[in-house]
Amino acid sequence: MHISEGVLSGPVLLSGGVLAAVGTAIGLKKMDYDRLAQVGMMASSFFVASLIHVNIGPSSVHLILNGIVGLLLGWSAFPAILVALALQAVFFQFGGITVLGVNTVIMAFPAVFCCFVFRPFLKKNGTVSMIAAFGCGFCAVLLSAVLLGVAMICTEENFWEVSSLVVIANLPVMIVEGIVTAFCVGFLKKVYPEILFKMDRG
């Protein structure tokens, strides 16, 4: 779900860059040094998951994993996703450098938002926690698709049809992401539940 170079207008690129910088600064400030390995591991997972993609117009469809990244990292999802997207842009030309800020916001903001919405429910047992985990994975991708559409529509109103196509094309990905996130949460609750509930420091 990368926006390519040359698609967005200057004001949208600037706004995305500023928001990404703010989010990354907050993430770095709240990041505990003893969690650096965890942040690096989640950045790597995000990086690898996004390598296999199918192009659709100015965007692409692929596994994202921003829901589980948000659940495990909170605000630290911003720097983790920024690094992963930067490496993808440099080594594989996915997205690009000028759109790095916008792409970071599109992926990281839903991750952080869904973290704060769904993580409290993970402490519940059984069905409730699994539904919350599925909802986190599903909604993170849904919000990313919506933000991608908003970025394109703010550039050119004629992008409405393309934006709608991006959201529809990602519906199967939303379902798969929800299932993968629920599976990961179920596994982590059995082997290492503390990782799900350790919040960022203030």
Amino acid at 102: V
Residue 2, in any domain of the structure = no
Q: Is 115 within 8 Å of 122 (Cβ atoms)? A: no
97-115 pLDDT per residue, tens: 889 999 999 999 999 999 9
The answer for 188, left when phi > 0, alpha when psi is -120 to 50, beta otherwise, is alpha
Secondary structure class of 103 (helix, strand, coil):
helix
* pTM of the shown model: 0.86
Q: What is the CATH number for 192?
A: 1.10.1760.20
DSSP 108-132: HHHHHHHHHHHGGGGGS-THHHHHH
Residue 26, in any domain of the structure = yes
The answer for 85, left when phi > 0, alpha when psi is -120 to 50, beta otherwise, is alpha
Range of the domain at 27: 10-197
Which segments in the chain show pLDDT lower than 50? 202
Residue 148, in any domain of the structure = yes
Distance of alpha carbon 48 from alpha carbon 111, whole angstroms: 17
Distance from the first to the final alpha carbon of the chain: 31
Residue 96, in any domain of the structure = yes
Q: Domain count for the chain, please give it.
A: 1
How much is the pLDDT for 91? 85
Residue 1, in any domain of the structure = no
How much is the pLDDT for 134? 96
Residue 202, in any domain of the structure = no
Instruction: Provide the token pair at 21.
Output: 């910088």
DSSP label at 94?
Answer: S
Distances in whole angstroms, Cα of residue 178 to Cα of each of 13, 124, 140, 196: 30, 18, 9, 16
Distance of alpha carbon 177 from alpha carbon 4, whole angstroms: 23
How much is the pLDDT for 143? 93
How much is the pLDDT for 202? 45
| Neighbouring residues of 64: CB distance < 8 A, sequence distance ≥ 6 | 1, 46, 49, 50, 107, 140, 141, 144, 173, 177
Pinpoint the alpha helices (H) of 50-99. Answer: 66-73, 77-92
Residue 5, in any domain of the structure = no
Residue 86, in any domain of the structure = yes
